[in-house]
Amino acid sequence: MPNIMLTRIDNRLIHGQVATQWTNVIGANLLLVANDEVSTDKMRQSLMNMAAPNGVATRYFSIEKTIAVIGKAADRQKIFIICENPQDVLRLIEGGVPIDKVNVGNMHMSEGKRQVATSVAVDDDDVDAFRKIKEKGVELFIQRVPTIAKEDVSKIL
């Protein structure tokens, strides 16, 4: 069973908050970005590697590759999975990745979305994915950084 410390939804993926605050608080030593587009975008990977803390490994896998290989992770790997959206998290869960809690971090405002929390904007597809994640017994919580209080996920649902 992979040692998944936390799964986070953050449309910026690896950046300062993730690299400095979350990684330290949860004790991760591997940042796994599960995203089809980023898995083949060497430029974005290079930029995110610059934000990753020293001594913390990074991996950039497609959703399917994550599902296929996560079970082979060594016990010493303390994995922090970062996804861009709730649909990717749902695909991981439905593919058998043992995710028990999801931190909803940054989902920025864009066309067709509505603001529901400080740093979270959703559309109907997002809400549907969050409902399905919750129905699978996964703990959901909104929290931009670990030093502020969690916000009630019912704002999304």
Catalytic positions are 15
Distance (Å) of CA 9 to CA 16, 72, 87, 101: 15, 23, 10, 11
Distance between CA atoms of 116 and 133, rounded to whole angstroms? 18
Distance (Å) of CA 151 to CA 10, 133, 142: 15, 17, 5
Tokens, residue 145: 């950084």
- Amino acid identity, position 9: I
Distance between CA atoms of 2 and 144, rounded to whole angstroms? 25
Answer for the pair 99, 89: CB distance below 8 angstroms, yes or no: yes
Answer for the pair 119, 8: CB distance below 8 angstroms, yes or no: no
Gyration radius (Cα) of the chain, Å: 14
